[in-house]
Amino acid sequence: MTNFIIIGVILVSSLVGFSILMKIFSDMEQASGRNLKATLGFLQEGMVDQGSLDVREKDLSEELENFANLLGPLIPAPTEKKLSLLNKAGIRTPNAYLLKSLEQLGFATFVFAAVFIIGILIKKVIIFSILAIAFGGLAYILYWEDIKEQVKKRALLLDKSIPDMIDLFANACAAGATFDIAADFILNQMPDEKHSLPIKTDFLAWQADIRFGVPREEAWQGLIQRSDSKNMKYFCNLMDQSEKTGGSVSESLLKMAGFFRERRKQQIEAEIAQLKGKMLSLTVAFIVVPILVLIVLPMGKKVVEAFANLWG
């Protein structure tokens, strides 16, 4: 009994320590984003004096920053795939890869330590050492699967919100506004809510690219690369072609919004059809089969008894 109590205390303590570490890394990431925003604010206001950059807000202690910088060289160099995943997940602070890698390492270490301690307490160190290495390595490898899920959820939100966004752009352009002016007005009015934040964030990044002199074709490609949304890809390609050919932007946008809605309707109808098939299977499995069993078993019992009496 004492061993189980010790194991429980160790696991709870490890979980609390791991949660605190994740909170610290999360705060570091958010503070980094605020620092970048503050820096860009100074630059946009024309404060090019080097001294003006020294007044950026700093929520992190120097010890934590030194800790992150100390572990930085131990983290493998970022691959293009991982940087793309972070970009598509909307995690774009300057040190996002470092923080996520440290979280990944911390999670793997927690799993390794938990399994290893259990092995020590139940006196099977060799077997549980192997298991600790296996589970710790697996946790390290699978950590980025959560980022992939964030990418999928974000792309789904973008696919759902793009048709409405296109309608707003089309109406503004039909009224005589240029696309850039329409985008500036719409983005300023758009709320920071869960369903609208991804598309607002991506378009603000596109807007920043344009203001910093990025060619429009590259800016549209950058907007495509910020998510896995197929609707966003179609939209950006349409806008790129319309700007190159000089066609009617508002008319093209209205047609595309209708196309997106029709496709979404077809997807919903397909999901409903699949749901009907699943409901039929559940009905057969949990209603029809039990009823048949209740009917057939008594009849079978009577048949067996009849034959028993006949041969008896």
pLDDT in tens, 120-132: 888 787 888 888 8
11, 148, 32, 104: CA torsion to nearest 10: 30
CA distances to 100, 181, 202 from 97, rounded to whole Å, are: 5, 34, 19
Nearby residues of 119 by Cβ (< 8 Å), 6 or more positions away: 125, 127, 128, 129, 131, 132
What is the amino acid identity at position 175? A
Please check whether residue 154 is in contact with residue 198, taking contact to mean a CB–CB distance below 8 angstroms: yes
Specify the pLDDT at position 72: 66
Please give the model's pTM, rounded to 2 decimal places.
0.61
Angle at the Cα of 261 from the Cα atoms of 248 and 272, rounded to 5 degrees: 165
Across the range 83-106, mean pLDDT stands at 82
Mean pLDDT of the chain: 74
Residue ranges of domains in the chain: 2-143, 149-312
CA distance 56 to 32: 10
CA distance 127 to 108: 18
Indicate whether 56 pLDDT > 50.
no
At residue 45, what are phi and psi to the nearest 5 degrees? -85, 0
Residues in the chain: 312
Percent with pLDDT over 90 in the chain: 7
Residue with tokens 């160099």: 77
Q: Which DSSP category does 76 fall into?
A: P
pLDDT tens-digit map of 156-191 = 889 888 888 888 888 888 888 888 888 888 888 888
CA distance 129 to 241: 59
What is the amino acid identity at position 18? F
Angle at the Cα of 65 from the Cα atoms of 60 and 68, rounded to 5 degrees: 130
Specify the pLDDT at position 219: 92
CA distance 56 to 79: 30
CA distance 62 to 45: 28
Kindly indicate the confidence band of residue 30, based on its pLDDT and cuts at 50, 70 and 90: low
